[in-house]
Amino acid sequence: MIWKFTLLLMIILSGFSCYGQVKRSLPMKYPAVWFAPINDPNKPDWEILPQEAKAGEVILSKRNELGILSNFAATPFELYGKRYASVEGFWQMMLYPEGPDDERAKDKRVTWKYTREQVAKMTAFEAKSAGTLAEENMKTLGIDWVTFDGKRFPYRSATPGEHYKLILAAMRAKADQNPEVKRILLATGDLILKPDHHGEPNPPPEWKYYDLWMQIRKDLSTDRHR
């Protein structure tokens, strides 16, 4: 009887030991700070905190190094021969007139606070605010399109279009030209990437930057193993 009890005790202790090994291995695979709870009484309503991630997920929080994957991050890159301060600056720039001959610039009903080149040099909330002003002008003008290199295309589309392709290209350039961006993206392994902010329901596909990053991560991982 005693030997049965001893055997059972050994099995239980062995189970706890294995659990401890698994538990200890998690921080080694993924930095604990990525999931560390944040207690901030001044948290903005739009923010999703790291602790809200479900099993197998990680929030791309601006409160830790994962914030470098945000469109807001100051991660300069060059695309098609021009330099941009951030993906956000690249994104919002397309809402602005390309020059004095652009019909958006000629319409006297609106005033453009910034030039396209100025927005291209912006990051974070400065770029976002510039985009908000441009969207107000677009409503006044009754247009739903933007431009790049003289080509006009819809700003919002339910299926991937020209705007989607450009944003994806910009994010890939960001990863290729910023080693730390690539390092952190690949370090997320097989985690499901989730946004750090509440978005609109059913947004266009390029609004889901976390999905685009997972696509880029897959491509980069494939390239590494060739």
Query: pLDDT tens-digit profile of 73-122?
Result: 999 999 999 999 999 999 999 999 999 999 999 999 999 999 999 999 99
- Residue 182: both structure tokens together: 């690539």
pLDDT tens for each residue of 35-59 = 999 999 999 999 999 999 999 999 9
Total domain count for the chain?
2
Verify that 207 and 151 share a domain, yes or no: yes
Verify that 125 and 196 share a domain, yes or no: yes
Give the span between the Cα atoms of 114 and 121, in whole angstroms.
11
Verify that 77 and 26 share a domain, yes or no: no
| Residue among 197, 195, 176 at smallest CA distance from 186 | 176
Q: Which amino acid is at 177?
A: Q
Please check whether residue 190 lies inside any domain of the structure.
Answer: yes
Contact 85, 120 (CB under 8 A): yes
Verify that 155 and 96 share a domain, yes or no: yes
Verify that 109 and 204 share a domain, yes or no: yes
Verify that 5 and 117 share a domain, yes or no: no
Distance of CA 75 to the CA centre of its chain: 12
Please check whether residue 47 lies inside any domain of the structure.
Answer: no
Residue ranges making up the domain that contains 11? 1-30
Phi, psi (rounded to 5 degrees) for 173: -65, -40
Verify that 22 and 71 share a domain, yes or no: no
Predicted model pTM: 0.85
Q: What is the CATH number of the domain that holds 207?
A: 1.10.357
Please check whether residue 60 lies inside any domain of the structure.
Answer: no
